Amino acid sequence: MVPFTVPDPVRAFLRDATGRTIVRDPNGNVLGFFAPVKPEEPLPNGQAPRLIDKRLNGEPGDECVQRVLRQPAEPVQLCDEAGNVIGYFAPVPPDRAEFVAGAFPPPDPTKEGEDPLADLRADFDMAAIEREMASNDKWYTLAEVYEHILSITPEPYWRGYLQAQIDRLKERDRCATQ
């Protein structure tokens, strides 16, 4: 990956990006994706941090940031003048801009601060799910589920695949307890 030295306005713009970031121009078009060298740690439940959406808003210095971030034609390491890597930037090629715009629409400002999964959660009765989870005494590990499927699978190819998965899971679990 090619090192790409960026001036102070670009570093200042990206400084508060604590995780993977979508960088947009003032019109909302995606310029590229930025990942800092030291991203946020995964959330306690194992999920990755949310993708941050950061838009240039036409303030003084934003024109410089936009001009600099439009220069690379391929992913680059963003560095300061001393050569220290501050992060990685993947520009969006012009021929993919329409696809990226569809995949990453600008956030709705009226929903800022709302739970992005609220609509999904509304489809489920969480209290009923919690009651069901509390009433179920027996839980099975993934290895146990695979072993059951293995016991009823006649095809040699799938039996070999399932056994390999079981062995991998047991090795992972064995390593976690040592």
Q: Per mean pLDDT, which of 37-51, 129-143, 155-169 is the most reliable? A: 155-169
Are the C-beta atoms of residues 151 and 170 closer than 8 Å to each other?
no
Average pLDDT over residues 140-167: 93
Rounded to two decimals, what is the model's pTM? 0.56
The label of the residue with tokens 């030291």 reads 38
- With 80 as the cut, is the pLDDT of residue 68 above it? yes
Question: For the chain, which residues make up each domain, given as ranges?
Answer: 2-114, 142-177
pLDDT at 149: 95
**Is 80 within 8 Å of 86 (Cβ atoms)?**
yes
DSSP letters for 78-131:
EE-TT--EEEEEEEPPGGGHHHHHHHSPPP-GGGTTS-TTHHHHHTS-HHHHHH
Section 145-150 average pLDDT:
95
Choice among 43-47, 160-164, 172-176 with the minimum mean pLDDT: 43-47
pLDDT at residue 40, rounded to an integer = 58
Query: Stretch 101-118: mean pLDDT, rounded?
Result: 71
Tally the C-alpha atoms within 13 A of residue 99's C-alpha that lie toward its C-beta: 5
Q: What is the mean pLDDT of residues 81-91?
A: 87
Residue of higher predicted confidence among 40 and 12? 12
* Mean local confidence (pLDDT), 42-60: 62
Average pLDDT over residues 112-122: 67
The yes-or-no verdict on residue 150 having pLDDT over 60 is: yes
Q: What whole-number distance in Å separates Cα of residue 89 and Cα of residue 72? A: 9
pLDDT of 156 reads 92
